[in-house]
Structure 1
């Protein structure tokens, strides 16, 4: 059995990742695959939290662009993340895991309110904690929520699960010559606008020295590989390689 490099992690899932090829809604097979991968890492003693987006159901920015009040559109997006969190909870419990959903917007019938000390206690008891409703505030993304929760619970790494195997200098789907970065600094992300996460989230990670691993969620076993230190995807941290990201 491999030993984990990280003991407490934040797994960041986009809503789109749950939709699969359809691009909207929730694909059940993806839920079950994620749940099986999370169980693998919980079984080796890793404390796992999950922050999930809601873009497969609603995107606040899109609503705002069409004339909707931005705060209202963002609150709708937060509710979409709760739907995804409950779906993930069900899939994880089907794998035999104990799971708690904590929402930044109070809704006692379906989730606990977010309380930092309670979240940490759940982790210490071996439960998976899903953080829903972002930060609870409009104008902030779920990437920022992931960075904030990681800092609050003292997570050792943020695992950015994508549908691509790392960070590239351009879109590898449209540019076959796109260059993949194996190592980047926070400053690289901010200065080059590489789209890994928004500037607020990247700055929070930099200020709190929280490393980020961007990897391909669609490859089975990659969550375990990332946590056990395998060289997959792109590592983002404070140190530079040869004076720049590479």
Structure 2
């Protein structure tokens, strides 16, 4: 562990296997992070509150409270980017992790290069968000209410300010949910595949997409629909194109 102060590029590693924790620390250090390691969820939550990390890696099988409960507690106070790591490979475990509030899910044993690639994609997304925010300063939505907003059936989204409103009320989305909704709205009635959405979410259109990534997209879209109260059978916003991907639902009069 390297000493750091809140606000720097830091990461919290919550992992009870010392060898895996050390491996993750090496990968993250190479990516420019200063790391803080916790062997259980309670200590991990304390470190997140103390250091306000950009990134948190989280094992599912922890002593005491498990990783699913830990990420739910994280989401009550922190927007840290959470990558869940688990030996569980079943689809239901991936969905549970994402539904609990994780941003990404990686099965063990993982390849260090794959973890590094996902972390670097997260960094690029964050830097792009900061660049967009710096280039479009505004104190409120009303100050930038021209063509910057995307509109559809009472839903509106501002890509640069990262704001979403439904029927005039703000909607709280995770980073990934926002990015996926933005991609679907920008594509309009043209179909966007799950592979394209997975690559878009990583901000890397040349990344290799596996089945777990597609299931992750399905879970994020399900969460989006829940937050937007959108029906699967009679969609107002996101329409499923079976076997392919998604597109914006038809405009309502």
Shorter chain as denominator, the TM-score bin is 0.3 to 0.5
Structure possessing the higher radius of gyration over alpha carbons: 2
Which has the higher relative contact order, 1 or 2, with Cα contacts under 8 A spaced 6 or more apart? 1
Q: TM-score, normalised by structure 2?
A: 0.34
